[in-house]
Chains A and B, each alone.
Chain A
Amino acid sequence: MNSPERSRSLFRFAAPHNFYPLAGRLAPWFATAALVLTVAGLWLGFFVAPTDATQGEVYRVIFIHVPAAWMSMFVYLVMAFWSAVGLVMNTRLSFIMSQALAPTGAMFCFVALWTGALWGKPTWGAYWVWDARLTSQLLLLFLYFGFIALTRAIEDPRRADRAGAIIALVGAVNVPIIYFSVQWWNTLHQGASVSLNKAPSMATTMLLGMLVMAIAAWMYTIAVVLWRARSMILERERHTEWVGAVLEREAQGGRA
């Protein structure tokens, strides 16, 4: 790790004191992108995309519902990935990343369930049904809550990291179940309109609005997670010299 070649590689950002300033420089760019894309996506979704033939205007929930649901599943997989890296490589930053992701994933999961309920009433005739898709998505929300509660409840950070990593890895099994539930079992929830193995079954402007909103959700997640990871790094490394130096510089109005 100490050879000069190694320290010039990307791996040097695995060290919290190198990652901290990098995250601080990158986050505002992702936040700006998120804002611009959200405005563009909502404009496409609510003003450009046509009315749907069967559902009328109510289908426009899709522009928030689907990106949120995608993000809630993807964030959990990324959490599980960083947890596995943390368990195997013993890197402090991996656990910080996984814990910084959890609240954002839980928020998207809640948004997906909530907008889904609002969409279900006027189309299906029910806010909630216990079909495989809805039930497994609700389980995902509980997994997020469990992960957050467990990592916050254990005082010793090393033990908290490990316990959380195990929930993240075990719970990751639920993600493919959510995704494929509409193919494996009879569900009230309809199948995927957009997937890798077939052409999308949506009008082009509808699809465009949904994809722009999905990229906006990515940008938002990256920005928020970088900022959250920064404050977690400061908290965990508060006794180190470099954090002392950073805080002093920031107190004098400089940038970290």
Chain B
Amino acid sequence: MKARSKRLMLVGGGVALLVAAVALVLSAFQQNLVFFHTPSEVAEGKAPTGKTFRVGGMVEEGSIRREADGLTVSFAITDTARVIPVSYRGTLPDLFKEGKGAVVQGKLEADGTFRATEVLAKHDENYMPPEAAHAVEQAAKAAETVSQ
């Protein structure tokens, strides 16, 4: 065997072993690599409910309520299967809206409410001008009326 092909096999074999090792490590730490848990995972007891953790999903339509003090906000995070009521005191990001994605960080109280210390807005990968967004909305409404 020529020295060159020997080195090629050495480099190729080394990289293949490394990829295998990294794949094993990543799959072992799968649970620790997620940024947030879904409400369903919380219901199934897969989230570390004893300490501070993050829950992510959609802000449920019609769930945002402001308390009398003007600072405390309550809303619900849903993944369409399960719902978690959240209470938060502080400023909300501009993109925080009903029906849009959000990630909240905090603790689950004994009564089942999630007391958030931080609220982040999560937006999707769709970019379009307002007219196009309006058209998409209209189309969705039309489809809904047809299916009813």
Contact = CB atoms under 8 A, between A and B. Distances in A.
Interface residues of B, number: 41
Contacts of B33: 132, 184-185
B19 A173 contact: yes
A129 B34 CA distance: 12
Interface in B12-56: 14-15, 18-19, 22, 26, 30, 33-38, 56
A84 B7 CA distance: 10
B120 A84 contact: no
B121 interface: yes
A90 B124 CA distance: 47
B46 to A, nearest CB: 12
A184 B30 CA distance: 9
B94 interface: yes
B123 A54 contact: yes
Interface stretch (B63-71, B107-115, B126-134, B138-146): B126-134
B18 A173 contact: yes
B126 A123 contact: no
B1 interface: no
Interface stretch (A35-43, A95-103, A104-112, A201-209): A201-209
B132 A55 contact: no
Given A53-B129, A187-B35, A87 B124 contact: no
Contact of A52 (B18, B35, B129): B129
A192 to B, nearest CB: 6
B89 interface: no
Contact of B14 (A124, A169, A201, A202): A169
Contacts of B4: 88-90
Closest 9 pairs between A and B when the two form their complex, measured CB to CB: A125-B93, A53-B133, A50-B129, A131-B35, A193-B125, A186-B34, A190-B125, A202-B127, A53-B130
Interface of B: 4, 7-8, 11, 14-15, 18-19, 22, 26, 30, 33-38, 56, 92-96, 100, 103, 118-130, 132-134
23 contacts: A53-B130, A53-B133, A55-B123, A55-B127, A59-B127, A88-B7, A90-B4, A122-B93, A123-B123, A124-B95, A124-B120, A125-B92, A132-B33, A132-B35, A169-B18, A173-B19, A184-B26, A186-B36, A186-B38, A190-B123, A190-B124, A190-B125, A201-B125
Interface of A: 50-55, 59, 62, 84, 87-90, 122-126, 129-132, 169-170, 172-173, 177, 184-188, 190-193, 201-203, 206
Given A54-B95, A169-B15, A173-B15, 20 more contacts: A50-B128, A51-B130, A52-B128, A54-B123, A87-B7, A124-B120, A124-B123, A125-B120, A132-B33, A172-B15, A173-B19, A177-B22, A185-B30, A185-B35, A188-B103, A191-B124, A191-B125, A193-B125, A203-B127, A206-B127
